[in-house]
Amino acid sequence: MKKFLTLILAVAITAAVSACGSGAGNSGAQTDEARVIRVGVVGENTEHWQPVIEKMAEEGVSVELVKFSDYTVPNQALADGELELNAFQHYAFLNNEVADKGLDLVVVGESIIAPLGLFSDKITSISEIADGDKIAIPNDATNGGRALKVIESAGLIGVDPAAGYTPEVSNITDNPLNLEFIQVEAALTASLLPDVTAAIINGGHAADHGLNPTKDSIYLEQVVGGNDNPYINIIVSRAENADDEVIQRIVEVFQSDEVAAVIDEVYAGVYIPAWK
């Protein structure tokens, strides 16, 4: 009986030690598998991230999209550690945010170009825009300035060239039609279409409202590629994480032919791959 009890005790101790060792190993594996990268995005059009989510899951990394309704929050959320990446803005917007708020954020990769469109429920051509008409534009410095440059390229206004890429309404030097500019948060420009003659709507917000810039706009921004284009959208991280292998791998997977194919098929001109 003593020998039997001794044998049982030995087996129990061995099992306990084995379980502890197994648990420690699983804990390490779970830590690897549980590496979560939260990516801040704006709007609902995120199909192009699905190949990234699936591929990174195969490699033991969970990519979670955190959706915001406007552009004012994701950079601060990233700086505060609530996100590991965000992907919603272009160079001009990031540069302005960094300068204004002192955020230690950096670009880790380029993503898309989303041309701005001028949309209308009332007219079908910019030639129909009349004296005193109201035009809605985004109220933030970079998107609002970009909107004015698009309207200028359409021949409707003149803007002081000294204002660069981010002119304000006060920088308009020529307004022959006495257009009135209604400045609202970018996400709200589409909702103002019933109340204005036309509105400049960012690509993502246009898609959220069932609008395709290449098909439905009455005027479309001319997309210019190259490193000097401040309106190329970007993937951004905190500076301290820029060289993280997982972060770099996510950018690599995003800039793949598979993601480019999804962008071309799903968005049909709303977004254009910027790295191609």
| DSSP letter assigned to residue 221 | P
Residues 6+ apart with CB under 8 A from 75: 86, 89, 94, 97, 101, 103, 105, 236
**Beta strand segments in 198-262, E:** 198-201, 219-220, 232-238
CATH of domain 32-115+227-273: 3.40.190.10
Residues 58/34, Cβ–Cβ less than 8 Å = no
Residue count of the chain: 276
Q: pLDDT by residue (tens digit) across 239-275?
A: 999 999 999 999 999 999 999 999 999 988 888 899 9
Q: Which CATH superfamily is domain 117-220 in?
A: Periplasmic binding protein-like II (3.40.190.10)
Q: Which of 101-105, 175-179, 190-194, 271-275 has the lowest mean pLDDT?
A: 271-275
Beta bridge partners of 45: none
Residue 55 token pair: 């591929």
Phi-psi region of 188 (alpha: psi -120 to 50; beta: other; left: phi over 0): alpha
Residue 63: band (very low, low, confident or very high) from pLDDT cuts 50, 70, 90: very high
pLDDT band of 102, cuts 50, 70, 90: very high
State mean pLDDT over 225-250: 91
Cα dihedral across residues 203, 208, 209, 210: positive or negative: positive
Give the model's pLDDT for residue 208: 86
What is the enclosing helix (H) or strand (E) of 87?
A: strand 85-90
pTM above 0.85, yes or no: no
Parts of the chain belonging to CATH 3.40.190.10: 32-115+227-273, 117-220
Higher pLDDT, 90 or 7: 90
